[in-house]
Amino acid sequence: MKNDNLIINGKEFNSRLILGTGKYQNFDTLQNSIESSGCDIVTISIRRLDFKTSNSKSIAQKSSIMSYLISENIWLLPNTAGAKTAEEAVKLACLGQELTQRMGQEDNNFVKLEVISDPKYLLPDPMGTIKAAEYLIKKGFTVLPYINSDPMLAKHLEDLGCATVMPLGSPIGSGQGIKNINNLQIIIENSKIPVIIDAGIGSPSEAALAMEMGAAAVLVNTAIAGSSIPAQMSQAMRLGVQAGRLSYCAGRIIPSKFAKSSSSLDGTDFLYY
Residues 6+ apart with CB under 8 A from 269: none
CA distance 191 to 198: 16
CA distance 11 to 196: 15
Catalytic residue, candidates 112, 120, 138, 192:
112
Contact between residue 187 and residue 165 where contact means Cβ atoms under 8 Å apart: yes
Instruction: Decide if 112 is catalytic.
Output: yes
| Cα radius of gyration (the chain) | 21
User: What residue type is assigned to position 75 of the chain?
Assistant: W
Q: How far is CA 8 from CA 31, 55, 144, 217, 221, in A?
A: 24, 29, 9, 11, 20
Contact between residue 15 and residue 238 where contact means Cβ atoms under 8 Å apart: yes
Residues labelled as active-site residues: 112
